[in-house]
Amino acid sequence: MKIAVIGANGKSGHLIVEEALARGHEVTAIVRDAKKLQERNLPVIEKDLFALTYDDIKNFDAIIDCFAVWREEDLPKHVTSLQHLTALLKGKANRLLIVGGAGSLYTDKSHTTRLIDTPNFPDAYKPLASNMAKGLDFLRTVTDVNWAYFSPAAEFIADGKRTGSYQLGNEEFFTNSKGESKISYADYAIAMVDEVEMAKHNKVRFTAIDQ
């Protein structure tokens, strides 16, 4: 399959690229600075996400969005970036897969309380989690794009072990047999490329945790 990875030089993007390449997919990086790419022989579109046009991405079966910003003044871009990408893909067959946040996962069956709403959610992460949750809220209004929003576990471990296995979930926060909600970036990458290949989710959010 032909896959484009936006933010391919980031921690999650790099591992998703590696996983997709290892499975024989044709991968193109979409980055602002090609010099930062670790995969030197990778085809590159050197562009800011907000400068992308449909012509840039029309030939890809899947566009994986690993866009991330951390400065408080940039956090609304977690919404506006999705607005831009979905406008480009309106009515098109291409799939849009988003590396999302865990803060919007529900903690109850009635889907009224999110992780971000719970007393123990760290204040330092609330601005980022809130803006990412707003991005998901926006996506839920989009019916003419083949999108899927992939929330990681509550503990998303950049340098965690690649175990090769994971458990899938949907809208709700859940834990493994040890009572843990965690996943390594490497196992998350496996689950993301599995989703590209199997297309189990469309116009919904899903999540995954380590076994």
Task: Please state, for a pLDDT cut of 90, what percent of the chain lies above it.
Answer: 96
With beta carbons less than 8 A apart as the criterion, state whether 71 and 127 touch: no
> What pTM, to 2 d.p., does this model score?
0.96
Which residue is it, tokens 């849009």? Answer: 96
What is the helix (H) or strand (E) element at residue 133, kind and residue range? helix 126-139
- Residue 82 confidence class, pLDDT cut points 50, 70, 90: very high
Q: Residue 99 has which token pair?
A: 């590396």
Residue 59 CB contacts under 8 Å (≥ 6 apart), including other chains:
2
Confidence class for position 41, pLDDT limits 50, 70, 90: confident
pLDDT digits (tens, 9 = 90+) for 103-139: 999 999 999 999 999 999 999 999 999 999 999 999 9
| Model confidence pLDDT, tens digit, residues 59-76 | 999 999 999 999 999 999
Q: What is the mean pLDDT of residues 26-37?
A: 94
Q: What is the mean pLDDT of residues 132-152?
A: 98
Look at residues 107, 108, 77, 111 and name the one whose alpha carbon lies nearest to residue 6: 77
Q: Which structural domains are found in the chain, ordered by start?
A: 2-209 (3.40.50.720)
Q: What is the pLDDT of residue 38?
A: 79
